[in-house]
Copies of this chain bind each other. A is one copy, B any other.
Amino acid sequence: MSVTTEAPAYPVDKVNRVKRRHDRGHYDHETVHRILDSAALCHVSYVIDGQPYCTPTLFWREETRLYWHGSSASRMLRNLSDGEPACLTVTHLDSLVMARCGFNHSADYRSAMCFGRARLVTEPEEKLRALTMMVDRFFPGRTAGLRESSKQEVKATAVVWMEIERASAKIRAKGLADDEEDYALPIYAERVPLRTFLGEPEPCERLLPGVERGADLKAYQAGRLLEEALLEAYAAAYA
């Protein structure tokens, strides 16, 4: 008996099809989501009066839905019923590649582009849940031990959500790749890996006596890769 199982994937059309270097394109949930969940920072594109904006923000994912902090949401999300078309992108820059000709200079990277329509989270209970996960996705269980948010704070925080309608991941991981005949040239070539690490945690200088670092920050150890800490925290938060 043979069973064909197809991995869940995002639909592909002219918006998200990887055109340039299509061999680097991926559309399956697993690849796209792993790139997203390894990151805290994304860039979101949206349009106001024909002018595109590219805004950096912290974000997180739930299933095929993305959430982010709604800075400047007032001018961004005017059309609440249909949502505003948006594109949220995460990129990990993994190396710089110095080849034997200009054309083959490159970089290793992993990026995910997600397309959909951005909307404000307006329903009060869903907003409270989203505000909890905005913290707990990064620091599992942390909100339960925090000073509760005031009504004013909740009001002042806009949360945006977007169902991922289309998405693509693009991965280059092959390092140096010169033209075959160029390897015979007396030219130096190399790859320099890049990694983002956590530094030594800096506890607040005004901690009360006996207050200690909890399990919510367990993933965040000095010297660890940021993306490993974020993946571990994500897995714990959505266990």
- Which A residues contact B (CB, under 8 angstroms)? 15, 19-20, 40-41, 43-47, 50-56, 58, 71-72, 75, 85-89, 91, 93, 96, 98-103, 105, 107, 109, 111, 113, 115, 131-132, 134-135, 138-139, 142-143, 145-150, 153, 156-157, 175-176, 178, 182-204, 206-208, 210-214, 217, 220, 226
Q: Chain B residues with Cβ under 8 A from A220's Cβ?
A: 96, 192
Cβ-defined partner of A146 (8 Å) among B46, B187, B217: B187
Q: Chain B residues with Cβ under 8 A from A146's Cβ?
A: 99-102, 187
Q: Chain B residues with Cβ under 8 A from A226's Cβ?
A: 194
Compute how far the CA of A129 lies from the CA of B234 in the bound complex, rounded to whole angstroms. Answer: 46
Is A175 in contact with B202, judged by CB distance below 8 angstroms? Answer: yes
User: Quick one: closest B residue to A15, CB to CB?
Assistant: B51
Is A211 in contact with B188, judged by CB distance below 8 angstroms? Answer: yes
Q: How far is the CB of A16 from chain B (nearest CB, A)?
A: 10
Cβ-defined partner of A107 (8 Å) among B40, B189, B193, B202: B40
Q: Chain B residues with Cβ under 8 A from A188's Cβ?
A: 145, 203-204, 207, 211-214, 217
Is B147 in contact with A185, judged by CB distance below 8 angstroms? Answer: yes
Is B203 in contact with A91, judged by CB distance below 8 angstroms? Answer: no
Is A113 in contact with B192, judged by CB distance below 8 angstroms? Answer: no
Given contact pairs A43-B43, A96-B40, A153-B103, A52 touches B189 in the complex (Cβ within 8 A): no
Given contact pairs A190-B213, A203-B190, A53 touches B102 in the complex (Cβ within 8 A): no
Is B55 in contact with A98, judged by CB distance below 8 angstroms? Answer: no
Cβ-defined partner of A88 (8 Å) among B44, B54, B58, B156: B54
**A45-B87, A183-B204, A194-B197 provided; 18 other pairs, C-beta below 8 A?**
A51-B87, A52-B85, A52-B87, A56-B111, A96-B220, A100-B146, A101-B146, A102-B131, A102-B135, A102-B153, A103-B149, A176-B202, A187-B211, A192-B201, A193-B200, A194-B199, A194-B226, A195-B199
